[in-house]
Structure formats: C-alpha cells, structure tokens
Amino acid sequence: MINYQKATFLTSAPDIKALPADTGIEVAFAGRSNAGKSSALNTLTRQNGLARTSKTPGRTQLINTFALAENQRLIDLPGYGFAKVPLAVKEKWQKALSEYLMKRQSLKGIVVLMDIRHPLKDLDQDLIHWAVQSNLQVLLLLTKADKLSPGPRKKVLLEVTEASMAFMGDVTVQVFSSLTKLGLPELEQKLDQWFSAEQD
C-alpha cells in the first residue's frame, strides 16, 4: 500500500529532457483541459494545493512531477483540447506529450481522465491509442461522476467499458468524483498494482 498523502512536488519540465532520471516507476495523469485532472490528483493525495486547479482550463503547460517514495512518481501531463492558447504552444505540448509516452522507460501506466458527461472525444481516443501502442496499461477515469445520478452513471460506465475493448490493450474503466470521493479506493488500488509491479 502506498501512502499518496506523502506526495511532494519534485519539478516542472518543458520536455522529457528536463525530467528526473528515467528509473523506477511513473504513473501519468492526462486528460482534456477541463477533465478535472488537478482536482483528481489533489483528492488522491489529500492535498488541496498539490496540483494547481484553475478556473481557466489548460493552465498545466509543463510536465509536473510529484515524488511518492524513492523511485515512485506521479506525473501531471499538460491538459489538451480546450485551452485557448496559440497553435504553436499546442503543438509544442503535443510533441512533449507524445515524446513522453513513447520514450519514457519508467512509465508504467497512464490514467486518462474524461468528464463522464463527455467521454471518448477524438483527442482522448488518440491518447489511448498512443498509450496502447506504447504497451502501457491504461485506466480510463470518468470524472465528475457526482454530476450524474446512479442510473445514468452506470449506463455511461457500461458504454465506455464496451467501447474500450476496441483499443485492444490493457484498458480498464472506473468512475470517479473529486467532490464525493466516489471511486477513490478503486483508483488507489489500481495505482498500487502499477507501482508494485515488477519492473522489466
């Protein structure tokens, strides 16, 4: 069992060259700019200010690294999609993102966060395809689950689970709410599995 409350900020990097040494195990969090990524990281670590949440989606423009224990890190990747930023900046993010996914040896799994009301947008699917091609384990986290009542929530979960089979990879789906902590134990369990996995 990993104590996620012990997470501490390590560094912000513009690209993979500026990241810590590529050893140990990393788990990355990625998602559209308004998917609630920072809130999920703060809920997981029980630290309100660990990942900066913003009223303006797309504020995370760097690869933020948080240390859990020696050789165990959480990675907060730049949000994609929604942000009103110049095209050149967007292209730079995409490049950093794809480079990180394809070249980072210590990356064990990726949590793709999607608003439960708008899952599997094109950019989400691109990211999942990238991850599967890079032989990464993927957890699709349907955030803001408190916005739906249990019936519709279950329906979306089933639909996304079914759709995820088309990616032909190690892809699982869970619901999550930063507000009510719904799905938090399941998220921790999945991350514990990834962090305790034998390294190749």
Report the pLDDT value the prediction gives residue 55, as an integer from 0 to 100: 56
When pLDDT is cut at 50, 70 and 90, the band that residue 87 belongs to is confident
User: Total structural domains in the chain?
Assistant: 1
Structure pTM?
0.92
Confirm if 42 and 49 have CB atoms less than 8 A apart.
yes
**Contacts of 164 by beta carbon, 8 Å cutoff, 6+ apart:** 128, 140, 171, 172, 173
pLDDT in tens, 125-180: 999 998 999 999 999 999 999 999 999 999 999 999 999 999 999 999 999 999 99
CATH number of the domain that residue 134 is part of: 3.40.50.300
Report the pLDDT value the prediction gives residue 200, as an integer from 0 to 100: 45
Report the pLDDT value the prediction gives residue 65, as an integer from 0 to 100: 94
Which tokens is 103 given? Answer: 């070249």
In terms of residue numbers, what domain contains 88?
Answer: 4-196
Nearest partner of 141 among 81, 101, 188, judged by Cα = 188
- The one-letter code for the residue type at 38 is S
